[in-house]
Amino acid sequence: MEKWMWHRLLLWEVTIQISLFDSTVIVPLPMHEPLATCTVERWYAAPGVERISIKCGRVRGALFLPPGPGPFPGLIDLFGGAGGLIEFRAGLLASKGFAVLALAFFAYDDLPQTLEVIDLEYFEEASRLLLKNPKVRGPGLGVIGLSKGAEIALAMSTFLKEVVASVSINGPTRMTGTSLHFHDVRIPETSYPSEKVVINEMGLASTFYCLGHPLDQAPEVSAIPVEKAQGHILFVVGEADQSLNSKVFAEAAMARAKKHGNNNCSLLSYPGAGHLIEPPGSPVCYAYPLRFSLIPIQWGGEMKPHAKAQEHSWNEILNFFKLHLGPLQNSSL
């Protein structure tokens, strides 16, 4: 079994030991004794799903193909500040009949170890590579992203003609901490003031106030111009997100799009849900450290409403992609 992160399950096919602690324990430490434990097995891909390592041109990632001749609707799957290559959601989506490229964009293989700029031409290259696969049905594809990946998914939907449907999960709607470059387009970043990080009584860091309000003293030039998006956008937000005020960012982007006559945005908002809204069955992750942080980051969320949000949003996301990419077919799943 490979360990990816402290208190963060991002594994492929594993045997998991689940421990139940007293309700006063938020982040288990070695001195805490569990009330009960059990062991379960979890698979993130259905039998017959094929995984193909991708190293073509600049593109790095892993392609997951459902069994059968296809062609299948194509998706690009993006995660955030953890970097590396995270594959479990791509395997689950492939198990539902999509051809999915889990795409790395920093801190993996020979990619840059830090994220200095969002070079959207890299994501354009990945989109075209996916659409060239004979098992991928065009002419357009979908993108799903979480956190920084959600910000990139929104930019892809705005600027790339290949993207016709995108899901943005708890991400900012302006370039934050990194600028965007795409051919002759430049969108400068807004600052990420570390002095606004709040440390709670458990020693967990909240970045909620670092990004502020999308309309407060934010340069208009840093906003992603979602009104230019030709495809459909689904915002998924947790109202208890401690990373940023996700709902306010999503509502500001939707208002901006609507002001310019673009009504292709929709919103799913979940009270009590935190930042890491993932597929159902994924462990609710309240806190874990990122590469740039010396202490664990607080992601927020209450156990029951967050788990319910994961279950409900997953079905809505699948239905969203089926609606805008066409029905699933020619798969033996």
Give the DSSP letter string of 159-184: H-TTEEEEEEES--SB-BSSEEEETT
Residue of 77, 95, 127, 147 with catalytic role: 147
Per-residue pLDDT of the chain (333 residues; tens, 9 = 90+): 333 334 444 445 556 677 887 777 766 777 778 888 887 766 678 889 999 999 999 999 999 999 999 999 999 999 998 899 999 999 999 999 999 999 999 999 999 999 999 999 999 999 999 999 999 999 999 999 999 999 999 999 999 999 999 999 999 999 998 999 999 999 999 877 777 878 887 778 878 788 777 766 556 789 999 999 999 999 999 999 998 999 999 999 999 999 999 999 999 999 999 999 999 988 888 777 766 666 788 889 999 999 999 999 999 999 999 999 998 865 545
Assess whether 275 carries a catalytic annotation: yes
Q: Would you call 5 helix, strand, or coil by DSSP?
A: strand
Residue identified by tokens 């993207």 is 163
- Among residues 243, 275, 306, 313, which one is catalytic? 275
Residues 6+ apart with CB under 8 A from 65: 49, 50, 52, 72, 94, 99, 135
* 228 vs 166: CA distance, rounded Å: 14
Whether 181 is catalytic is no
Quick check: is 147 catalytic?
A: yes
Joined together, the tokens standing for residue 174 give 């302006």
Q: Within a 13 Å sphere around the CA of 286, how many CA atoms are in the beta-carbon half?
A: 13
Instruction: Check 206, 241, 243, 306 and give the catalytic one.
Output: 241
Return the CATH fold of 47-191+220-288+299-325. Rossmann fold (3.40.50)
Instruction: Give pTM, 2 decimals.
Output: 0.87
CA–CA separation, 239 and 306 (whole Å): 10
